[in-house]
Amino acid sequence: MENVQDKYRKVLVESLVLDDDVAVEAQVREILDKHFDENNNVDVWKQCFHSIDLTTLNSTDTVQSVTRFVQRVNDFETDYPQLPNVAAICTYPNFAMVVSGTLEVSEVGTAVVAGSFPSSQTFVEVKTAETALAVADGATEVDIVFNLGLYYDEQYEELADEIAEIKHACRDARLKVILETGALKKAADIKNAAILSMWSGADFIKTSTGKVYPGATLEAAYVMCQCIKEYHKKTGRKVGFKVSGGVSTTDDAVRYYTLVKEILGDEWLTNEWFRIGTSRAANVILSSILGKETKHF
């Protein structure tokens, strides 16, 4: 009888996703050289804006500041009726009720970071409780951090069980697993983390917390998108991709959009499957769309 731990090792070994760092870098360069310019236009900028998880994750956040933050998203509908709104508002879990209670735009989600963000270093019972409390307060999306400690100890079964337990605590909310690619660094480790997360029930895989380690890289995004493509081919289940940490310009957003388009196809180019986590880039991309400097958020 197959050992459960061996099952996960088998899945990792069987993956054919490219994980040589030099080769990955070359593939990214080739895709962007061929396709960046054709995607650098106002329609793509609008889609990138529509894919934003507008984020405030500050130690100084308060009920009043988060309420004002949400109100700017509400006001966007009136101020810019010709443009699509952001995809979601992302806060710490204790503000889920503030966001869900203040938000007046039905198509914008209430996202939270949970599970002892950004370290993921606490008891699994704490992680599931925090997740469940946030969902009870109105969170429709939950972003957690991949347990790097369990990964480096090769405790794959325990790692997968933890993600699955948190997924169960999400109920109907979507679960995004943050790989923290700036800590993993190597393409091979990023690939492994992506595969383990998806096989454990992640609805999205996300690059970074943007807190302690370096943020997203195009190379990490390439590997993750290839893993999503392979997983979808094997299982028929779609998993979303979210880039976060370091997306600060319109060009940055278009580069990630281009990788998603060329690897996963147009099917993934909606905010149901593609997200950009940022606190900075919303005004920058909005300014590109409008052709003038704009500071709405």
Which residues pair with residue 141 across a beta bridge? 111, 174
Catalytic residues: 143, 206, 242
According to DSSP, the residues that pair with 278 across neighbouring strands are: 54
CB burial of 105-119 (b: ≥16 within 10 Å; e: otherwise) equals eeebbbbbbbbbbbe
Residues in Cβ contact with 19 at an 8 Å cutoff, skipping those fewer than 6 apart: 186, 187, 188, 190, 191, 223
- For the record, the structure tokens of 214 come out as 């370096």
The whole-angstrom separation of Cα 201 and Cα 237 is 10
Q: CB-side exposure of 54: number of CA atoms within 13 Å?
A: 27
Encoded amino acid at 193, one letter: A
CB distance 281 to 53 below 8 Å? no
118 cis-preceded (ω within 30 degrees of 0): yes
Compute the Cα dihedral for 279, 162, 227, 47 and give only its sign: negative
